[in-house]
Structure 1
């Protein structure tokens, strides 16, 4: 299926979750346009599209803006069903494993990666204040979340690697002969260890089956990419109309009617809210309509899982 507009990925090279989407695009052989965004706030061009959400990456198709890689995976699967990310009969298990990887595994591995030794390598070619700004930014994004100490994260990371290795004893990918959503979710934090904080990558050496699997994942590549600018992406949104929502089933869990002004926020990391008119609430996603001076009318989409919906009181 050909998308109605080019796939535009707003990302930056060091972002683990962006690597997840870049590999899915390569796996599905979908051409895409690359907009490099800042690693830290402010991100005015991105926020012009999202209305507040600032996590990375974001997928844009015309005037439709998709937040969170779990939802982006669903969108890519709809556009290009084969090769599937959700193979039968393990699709439920694959989704559960992916959710674990996006949360528990990711938080553990990144707590290990971003210890002082890893940060020193990551920011070795920039002024010291850049590392300080990164730490302050991520601390603000994770306010209220428990933080693992590097020693605890190292122990947990080793346990996770042994379990992943067990899964790969008799198969090339986590659930079989082909990569699925579980593989794409488990790979990015380990990729960061291996490629961005490689001074810490010896932790992988005790599980060669995991390293071999990582090689197979990396070989999927990123597909056909061309550079695009943030200005061009905003112009695409302004010149487009959001895709039709006809046929979307309304599933109400909050007593909030369609047409209400609402805010959607992540439950934990990166809680900056996006406000807009609730125009869809399906079994799996929320859609907000919002108007931006530069981007025009856009629909911003969030997955239900991991996000909260709240009505905005009338002034």
Structure 2
């Protein structure tokens, strides 16, 4: 199997989700640390525009969004599964809720003034300002929860999560599933990055015990790698042959068309390329970069917009 290269930074919640999935599947990987905010020229050489964290690289194949990365890891290493039966559908549905509504609630709670002060306490004043401006640009037009409203919602969500742990060690059974990894990462951020606000967990000790079980999974074996070498890997590799999946045309856009793919809400920066796959689960674009060469950039369908590029 070609080496797994994860482009991430240590404090990213979604990167923590991916690191734990790699740990659960005991997959070796290489770690490329990317900036928290733009510019990210090395990452964009691979993705063509997408700049959210993390990104998984396998040779000249670039996988965006943890929902798709989870499917890729499951294909590479089916055992142990993160989609165990009979709760596979429930796990995916709960994971989608966690990666969206729960995540933004946890962030609104964690990024109140006390949390921001802890995160950026040892950084120059302009660091917090730059981070805030960067995230505002990525979430332009998104509704924002006030920290007071987020606090109330977060408490309710934690009680509901605690109720799910009454009979099982994990959210949907005896073993972790995709729901556990997706619910965990937002709570991990509050507990580790804004520990001054972690008292919100005191009322739900079962959640804390579950978080300890999740943390114990670890990140498997990895080694440091640099961005230039990762780009060189892509440049010397050939994208993997596409699987013979059925073309699902929901847009009236033919394969071979010039298109863009962008996030529906957070992270609206488009990636442009040739549409070479549109299956029931994902899109694939072929693009060429002067540094990375020919790459295939993959996106999940859910949460992303596909648009045809108007002829020049």
TM-score by length of 1: 0.98
Look up the SS of the partner of 1:264 in the other structure. Answer: strand
Corresponding residue SS for 2:148: helix
The 2-side partners of 1:248 and 1:111 are apart by 39
| Separation in structure 1 between the aligned mates of residue 214 and residue 221 of structure 2, nearest angstrom | 17
1:224 aligns with 2:221: yes
User: Which residue in the other structure is 1:31 paired with?
Assistant: 28
Deviation, 1:248, is 2.5
Superposed CA deviations along residues 151-195 of structure 1, whole A, max 9, x for unmatched, are: 000000000000000000111000000000000000011000110
Distance 1:142 1:54 in 2: 13
Aligned to 1:175: 172
C-alpha distance in 1, partners of 2:244/2:219? Answer: 33
The separation in 2 between residues aligned to 1:298 and 1:212, in whole angstroms, is: 42
RMSD: 0.5
1:134-145 matched pairs, under 5 angstroms: 134-145=131-142
* Corresponding residue for residue 105 of structure 2: 108
Q: Deviations over 1:239-280 (max 9, x none)?
A: 000000151321100010000000000000010000000000
How do 1:126-165 and structure 2 match up within 5 A? 126-165=123-162
CA distance in 1, matches of 2:122, 2:174: 40
Residue number in structure 2 paired with 1:306: 303
The 5-angstrom pairing of residues 213-252 of structure 1 reads: 213-252=210-249
Alignment of 1:50-199 (within 5 A): 50-199=47-196
Separation in 2, partners of 1:247, 1:135: 43
Match of 1:66, SS state, is strand
Query: How far apart, CA to CA, are the structure 2 residues paired with 1:219 and 1:97?
Result: 22
Name the SS for the 1:199 alignment partner.
helix
**For residues 288 and 113 of structure 2, what CA distance do their matches in structure 1 show?**
42
CA distance in 2, matches of 1:250, 1:73: 22
* Distance in 2 between residues matched to 1:165 and 1:246, nearest whole Å: 40
Whole-angstrom CA distance in 2 between matches of 1:189 and 1:126: 23
Moved over 6 A (4+): none
Q: Whole-Å Cα distance in 2 between the matches of residues 147 and 221 of structure 1?
A: 33
* Alpha-carbon distance between aligned partners in 2 of 1:215 and 1:268, rounded to the nearest angstrom: 32
CA distance in structure 2 between the aligned counterparts of 1:106 and 1:246, rounded to whole angstroms? 32
Correspondence for 2:17: 20
Structure 1, residues 42-98: CA drift from partner, whole Å, max 9, x if none? 000000000000000000000000000000000000000011010111000000000
Which consecutive unaligned segments of at least 5 residues does structure 2 have?
Answer: none
| Corresponding position of 1:258 | 255
User: 1:283, 1:250 → 2: CA distance?
Assistant: 8
Q: Which runs of 5+ in 1 are unaligned?
A: none
**Shift, 1:137, TM fit:** 0.7
State the distance in 1 between where 2:279 and 2:220 align: 31
**TM-score for both structures, normalised by structure 2:** 0.99
SS of residue paired to 2:181: helix
Structure 2 residue 290 is matched with structure 1 residue 293: yes
**What is the CA-CA distance between 1:301 and the residue it aligns to?**
0.1
